[in-house]
Structure 1
Amino acid sequence: MPATSPDPAPAARSRSSIRSLLRLWPYVRPIRGRLGASAVVGVVASSMGLLIPLVLKWLVDGPVTDRDPSGVWLGGGLVLLLGLLEAGLFGLRRWLVARPLAGIEASMRSDLYQRLQRLPVAFHDRWASGQLLSRATTDLQILRMFLAFPLVFLFVNATTMLIGFGILLAQSPLLTLVLLGPAVPLVVLSMRFETRYALAARRAQDQAGDLATLVEESVLGVRIIKAFGRHRSQSEAFHRQARDLRGTELHKARLLSDLWAIIMTLPELAIGVALVVGVLQVSDDKLSAGTLVAFLTTALALRWPVESIGFLLAMSNEAATAADRYFEPMTTRGAEGGEADRPAAEADGPRGDGLRLEGVGFGYPDAPAGSPGVLAGVDLHVRAGETMALVGATGCGKTTLTALVPRLHEQTAGRITLDGADTAAMPVARLRELVAVAFEEPTLFSATVRENVAMGAGPSGAGEAEVLRALEIAQCAFVHALPDGLDTQVGEQGLSLSGGQRQRLALARAVVGRPRFLILDDPLSALDVHTEALVEAALRDVLRETTALVVAHRPSTVQLADRVALMSEGRIAAVGSHTELLRDNAEYRRLMSGLDTASEPLERSDAR
């Protein structure tokens, strides 16, 4: 089952809809002139529609009563002209906002993407990918629709109703009071609807994010699903979440239909009562027939602004929820800072000290209160130009420790230095230039082989020679046999390649930039014995030029190291050569047990 978002729906409306929507102002401010102009044009267009009843009044009380055909033709022409003007002005309003609003959506999506790239790995560990994806797609579409329609028409329709009721009041105060009768219950119902609909809208958007996560995981993990015959369980999970989302959407529809029924029924009843009262007034000569026609026509013209209240409120509430969801990752603390350019000398300490970890501790923020940290008081010194193998039982914290060096996670205690410079005070961009990482589970992107490898060279990029050198070190000769060579698209997650091929490309990506510090997390685990030996031979030259920390689970990987650090229960238990640890450390001997066939070459390696 996919992880759910850490932002449950019941807590969704801690702020008002207006406050949520006001958070969009920094994006709206550059186009406020166009939005204002579109609102003015909308009001003028609606006013054209309100002038038509006045023309009808003149027609009924004038040319129709006087049987003047030329006046009837003139009145009909005026009505047609007003209708064309109304349509043209609404078209102009749309033109004013279409391009700017598309720009706002693109800008917000770009800002969100940049923010997600800067947020630490711990954030992405907690958040489901589908939740983030839905914020970058569905939620932004909702916000664009709000800015294009409800934002403007809440003003346009409110202004139109004020103008319209002013016209009605001038024609007949009594009938106007009759029409205003339902106003109070409509306001009360709208306020109640807003609260209930906001909760339902948030729940639906969160459930849509969870469903997107499930679909994404099912697509990426389709090989596992097929291999283990888990079609039925995945299908049941999908249908269960889809039913939940369907139920929430139906709940929203019921809320909206109830509001629409009331909003449409009460004004219709009021117009019916006004018609009866108006006919009685005309029969008593207290009101002209033309005035009654104009009054009723104006009242009917105001039906859309009144009836649209529910629709506009619903869209505004969904937009407020979408704004909250959009700004949640945007305002999450813990983004990687220090990206500003700084002189290299300020970031680098004196060469020659290597990698130091002093009293380093780490605990995951979502760990239960009182639970021990993953790392506690780690002290380790990898000398400049040295290769240190990190060995330990599964779950002792090796991978977590390697993630702290490039600040994929931030240590909660102690300090880490690179050639004397504290990584916590170093600009992240500079840190990532100094440190390259190859993970145990390689991740490739939907790009070419060349692009995937060159990514390890950082913003400066890598030339053809550097890429070919890295591919040769990682024994990636297979790329030349691919359909388009280095320009072959490797597909999503690199799944068109074998596990060993992906791992070798990830290793090539780590060494292409000739990093000063290299972190390798069991980089050869997916290779066959022959290929592993070739990669190890090529890696020796690379490791002579860098300071390296290598997580080792196999004796052949330990063979690459100058020294070995034994990790146990989140601490460094012992440091020494392979031979020394075999002789003096019982835990290390247990880890190496069953590998006696490799002991002799390992000992020869230690004698270097």
Structure 2
Amino acid sequence: MPRSTHHPLHNLWRTRSYMRPYAALYVWMILAGVVTTALGVALPLIVQRVVDGPVLHGDDRGLFLLGALALALGLVEALLIFIRRWVQANSALRMETSMRDDLYRHLQSLSVSFHDGWQSGQLLSRATTDLAIIRRFLSFGLIFLVLNTATAITVVALLFDLYWPLALVVAASAGPLFWFSQQFTRRYNAAARLMQDQQGDLATVAEESAGGIRLIKAFGRREHMAEKFTRYARDLHDTAVGKALMVSRTWAKFDAVPNVTLAVVLVGGALAVARDRMTVGELVAFVSLQLMLIWPIDALGYIIANAQEAMTAADRFYEVVDTDPAITDRPGAAVLERGDVGGEVRFDNVRFAYPDAPAEVLRGVDLVVRPGETLAIAGVTGAGKSTLVSLVPRLIDADHGRVLLDGRDVRDVTLESLRTVVAVAFEEPILFSMSVRENLTLGRPDATDAEIDEAIDVVQADFVRTLPWGLDTRVGEQGLSLSGGQRQRLALARAVLTRPKVLVLDDPLSALDVHTEALVERALTRVLTGTTAIIVVHRPSTVALADRVAFLSDGVIAGVGTHSELLATNPSYAAVLSAAADDAGELAGEGAR
């Protein structure tokens, strides 16, 4: 995974763009905070007047009036605090939602290769934990950093006004605090980054364990996976404990400084009163004001820690957001009109290599699929069949050469319009944790019940009608409540339902039994009439769907023709199909036993 090369503060500063819509609210929050601080500062000064006035002279009426004023100021302060906190939480949660929406939207625009290279848990932690950390800083840490700084400056100024020698002592205490914060910041940033990365790793292990629970149970690896999870959890625990210890030590130092300073002030203030350099009311006000500094100083440790975590979280957020989509619309890309698409697909000297691969997978493929034709792509495992068909809907892009749809480079049309006329069904079916109906209509939300029923009949998926709630039954995460063959049929029905001009099928019948496969093939033959279909095949029975077969070998098309023609003229094709037939026969025999 990439790491940001910017200063940790840089990406946190960039999050201000999400604050702009709420700039007016932030101004009002700060103004409310300033008024609240002013009211808080006013109370010690009122106490000074009470002690040096009514208390000293026994004026009960003056004491009552000053007490009423203090109560009124306290109520106003409480109301302002409520309003500020509510506005803070509301605006920060809306910012977090905006950031999460942008992150998710950007993830959808990134290529399949990006997602192949990232752990799902790392992406999940960025969309949840990291954004929550940023929100806490923007809603609490940032506001209180401003308000506490303003409070400290105001209080120290008043202390100098009351009695400057003791005020110098209070001001001097900022030196140790600054030094402690510098030491803390350097160490805490690395610990925060490590902990947030470990949270992502732990989320990945948990997510993969949940998704692969059948495999774990089948191989009896429950203890192994439990040990792995415990190891990751222990690493996270140790890092969190070390981070907490770091915070505790620094917080204790921050707490000790004002307490030592207070002791010096009390002794020095008592001597000043005894020598008539201060009144008792001034000493009480001085100490009360100094006590107001304890919270800002105590909060300093939390704010610094929160800021460090927020900087790390912003780094991790922008690591994803700054990744440019590898597959995008070209400038001036045209919108494909469904009615204008004939369905001819042409591969023109197509070459492709995966990053860090030792050699090209496709080394100059030239192939034409005629409109309405069903073409099978055959070849040994690893020949590049799935890679070739993935070029049509632009799940990947060719390094060299072109893929043409009706003579137009697929990169010259918008992705959205291309994928409305090209449908794909993968060998490994992907279903979402939602109802059968929602899964089927994913590519065509406006499909009617009659059209859904027709697609279900084509792929022999009648089983959905016997589910507890029929089409409204939720299939569970990844559709694991269904068998492999059931999932594959639903994925195929989803592709058929879109009524595409070009249908790409990547060995879509591999999980079906022989009888069901024959029924689906006959139905597909009827449905594919008028649709250009490219089918990756791994076993001979699927070849029956095709009008022609293209044999892919060593990165190039080594032969094109009917199944019978290739069997007669291409020994390599005959050998591949023969081996596949033997494997299929063995599997059928094992199933019979």
TM-score, scaled relative to structure 1: 0.92
Q: How does 1:24-39 map to 2 (within 5 A)?
A: 24-39=15-30
Q: Which residue of 369, 375, 396 corresponds with 1:388?
A: 375
For residue 227 of structure 1, what is the aligned residue in structure 2? 218
Q: How does 1:16-95 map to 2 (within 5 A)?
A: 16-17=8-9, 19-95=10-86
Contact 1:454 1:509 in 2 (8 A): yes
Distance 1:271 1:298 in 2: 11
Distance 1:79 1:264 in 2: 28
Query: Would you say 1:372 and 2:362 are equivalent positions?
Result: no
Distance 1:464 1:513 in 2: 13
* 1:25 Cα deviation from its structure 2 partner: 1.9
Distance 2:338 2:300 in 1: 58
Q: Cα deviation per residue 1:192-235 (whole Å; 9 max; x = unaligned)?
A: 32232122111111111111111111111111111111111111
Contact 2:4 2:319 in 1 (8 A): no
Q: Cα deviation per residue 1:390-415 (whole Å; 9 max; x = unaligned)?
A: 11111121112221211111221211
Where 1:91 maps in the other structure, the secondary structure is helix
Which one is further off, 238-247 or 71-80?
Answer: 71-80
Distance 1:416 1:474 in 2: 29
Q: How does 1:206-217 map to 2 (within 5 A)?
A: 206-217=197-208
Distance 1:330 1:16 in 2: 16
Query: Would you say 1:286 and 2:288 are equivalent positions?
Result: no
Q: How does 1:249-398 map to 2 (within 5 A)?
A: 249-334=240-325, 336-338=327-329, 344=335, 351=342, 354-365=344-355, 367=356, 371-398=358-385
For residue 529 of structure 2, what is the aligned residue in structure 1? 544
* 1:68 Cα deviation from its structure 2 partner: 2.9
| 1:598 to 1:425, Cα distance in 2 relative to 1, 3 A | same
For residue 577 of structure 1, what is the aligned residue in structure 2? 562
Distance 1:16 1:131 in 2: 19
Q: Which residue of 7, 13, 21 corresponds with 1:15?
A: 7
Contact 1:473 1:538 in 2 (8 A): yes
Q: How does 1:403-418 map to 2 (within 5 A)?
A: 403-418=390-405
For residue 438 of structure 1, what is the aligned residue in structure 2? 425
Where 1:559 maps in the other structure, the secondary structure is helix
For residue 603 of structure 1, what is the aligned residue in structure 2? none
Contact 1:181 1:270 in 2 (8 A): no
Where 1:447 maps in the other structure, the secondary structure is coil
Where 1:456 maps in the other structure, the secondary structure is coil
Contact 2:335 2:414 in 1 (8 A): no
For residue 451 of structure 1, what is the aligned residue in structure 2? 438
Equivalent position amino acid for 2:480 in 1: L
Which one is further off, 271-280 or 589-598?
Answer: 589-598
Q: How does 1:460-479 map to 2 (within 5 A)?
A: 461-479=446-464
Distance 1:283 1:338 in 2: 82
Distance 1:304 1:255 in 2: 20
Q: Cα deviation per residue 1:250-273 (whole Å; 9 max; x = unaligned)?
A: 121122112211111112112211
* 1:349 Cα deviation from its structure 2 partner: 7.6
Query: Would you say 1:556 and 2:550 are equivalent positions?
Result: no
Q: Which residue of 154, 179, 182 corresponds with 1:191?
A: 182
Where 1:143 maps in the other structure, the secondary structure is helix
| 1:13 to 1:153, Cα distance in 2 relative to 1, 3 A | farther
Where 2:545 maps in the other structure, the secondary structure is coil
For residue 485 of structure 1, what is the aligned residue in structure 2? 470
| 1:314 to 1:13, Cα distance in 2 relative to 1, 3 A | farther
For residue 3 of structure 1, what is the aligned residue in structure 2? none
Contact 1:349 1:420 in 2 (8 A): no
Equivalent position amino acid for 1:362 in 2: F
Distance 1:291 1:597 in 2: 99
Where 1:565 maps in the other structure, the secondary structure is strand
Q: Cα deviation per residue 1:99-130 (whole Å; 9 max; x = unaligned)?
A: 33222222222221111111111111111111
Contact 1:391 1:552 in 2 (8 A): yes
Which one is further off, 94-103 or 498-507?
Answer: 94-103
Where 1:455 maps in the other structure, the secondary structure is coil
* 1:476 Cα deviation from its structure 2 partner: 1.1
Distance 1:96 1:73 in 2: 35
| 1:350 to 1:312, Cα distance in 2 relative to 1, 3 A | closer
Contact 2:92 2:138 in 1 (8 A): yes
Contact 1:39 1:156 in 2 (8 A): yes
Distance 1:256 1:347 in 2: 61
Query: Would you say 1:124 and 2:109 are equivalent positions?
Result: no
Query: Would you say 1:593 and 2:583 are equivalent positions?
Result: no
Equivalent position amino acid for 1:120 in 2: S
Contact 2:350 2:364 in 1 (8 A): yes
Equivalent position amino acid for 1:14 in 2: H
Query: Would you say 1:421 and 2:421 are equivalent positions?
Result: no
For residue 127 of structure 2, what is the aligned residue in structure 1? 136
Contact 2:375 2:549 in 1 (8 A): yes
Distance 2:441 2:166 in 1: 76
User: Structure 2 regions of 5+ residues with no counterpart?
Assistant: 585-593
Query: Would you say 1:112 and 2:99 are equivalent positions?
Result: no
Equivalent position amino acid for 1:359 in 2: N
Distance 1:97 1:142 in 2: 15
Equivalent position amino acid for 1:137 in 2: T
Equivalent position amino acid for 2:413 in 1: M
Distance 1:529 1:416 in 2: 34
Which one is further off, 72-81 or 318-327?
Answer: 72-81
* 1:341 Cα deviation from its structure 2 partner: 10
Where 1:414 maps in the other structure, the secondary structure is strand
Distance 1:449 1:32 in 2: 45
User: Structure 1 regions of 5+ residues with no counterpart?
Assistant: 1-5, 600-608
Q: Cα deviation per residue 1:268-311 (whole Å; 9 max; x = unaligned)?
A: 11221122222111111122121111111100111111221111
Equivalent position amino acid for 2:127 in 1: A
Q: Cα deviation per residue 1:534-565 (whole Å; 9 max; x = unaligned)?
A: 00000111222111111111111011111111
Distance 2:352 2:137 in 1: 44
| 1:407 to 1:111, Cα distance in 2 relative to 1, 3 A | same
Where 2:366 maps in the other structure, the secondary structure is strand
Distance 2:276 2:403 in 1: 94
Where 2:443 maps in the other structure, the secondary structure is helix
| 1:540 to 1:293, Cα distance in 2 relative to 1, 3 A | same
* 1:496 Cα deviation from its structure 2 partner: 1.4
Q: Which residue of 509, 524, 543 corresponds with 1:524?
A: 509
Equivalent position amino acid for 1:485 in 2: G
Contact 1:339 1:428 in 2 (8 A): no
Q: Which residue of 539, 564, 568 corresponds with 2:553?
A: 568
Distance 1:130 1:386 in 2: 42
Distance 1:184 1:274 in 2: 17
Distance 2:5 2:550 in 1: 52
Equivalent position amino acid for 1:413 in 2: H
For residue 591 of structure 2, what is the aligned residue in structure 1? none
Contact 1:38 1:93 in 2 (8 A): yes
Aligned-residue Cα RMSD (Å) equals 2.2
- Provide the aligned length of Structure 1 versus Structure 2: 584
